Amino acid sequence: MHRSKRIIFVSHCILNQNTVVCPLARARGAYTEIIELIMKNGIGIHQLPCPEFRYLGISREPMTKEEYDTKEYRQICKNISIDTIEIMKEYVKNKYEIIGLIGVNESPTCSIINSRGIFIEELLSLINDNNLSIKKIDVPVDYKDGENNSKFIKALIDFFSFKIFENKEKID
């Protein structure tokens, strides 16, 4: 079968709301509408690991970015970021188009827009260090599976239409 060679990197909880701190989950499992849209566009999904889950497990309490911002937690996020960069480089080397990165707004770990989460800070730092660039979008705070999410879905459709991951030195 022909591969689309299009990949999107997503924060863990977009595909698995079961790892989200209670009571902040906004879907029963995955964000159905987002995942269906990605699949309908023939885009492969690369799910990033959840640093919060790795650090404190499933029954952790909600915490702020400041509470997570410890040397140990940053190291977990940095290690995941190092692995993610190697994966991204492998895709690029093999002529895949990386559509972008989807985060979760206001997450202490995975927020991209406004105040960046700790994991995203570490990941974007390494993306810059490796002379790469990536388009980014956050799932908004008011997104709830099964409700009217038309504004975000339109933004996501627009997001898919751009080729946005490239090596600044122009890898062919």
Distances (CA, A) of 51 to 7, 13, 19, 109, 147: 21, 11, 10, 8, 28
Non-local CB neighbours of 163 within 8 Å, separated by 6+ positions: 97
DSSP 14: H
Q: Count CB-CB contacts under 10 A for residue 123.
A: 27
pTM of the model: 0.90
Q: What digits encode the pLDDT tens for the residues 127-156?
A: 999 988 899 999 999 999 889 999 999 999
Q: Count CB-CB contacts under 10 A for residue 21.
A: 18
Preceding omega of 140 cis (within 30 degrees of 0): no
Element (H, E) at 98: strand 97-104
Q: What digits encode the pLDDT tens for the residues 73-125?
A: 999 999 999 999 999 999 999 999 999 999 999 999 999 998 999 999 999 99
Question: Where are the domains positioned within the chain?
Answer: 17-25+46-165
Q: What is the pLDDT of residue 162?
A: 58
The answer to whether 130 and 41 have CB atoms below 8 angstroms apart is: no
**Total residue length of the chain:** 172
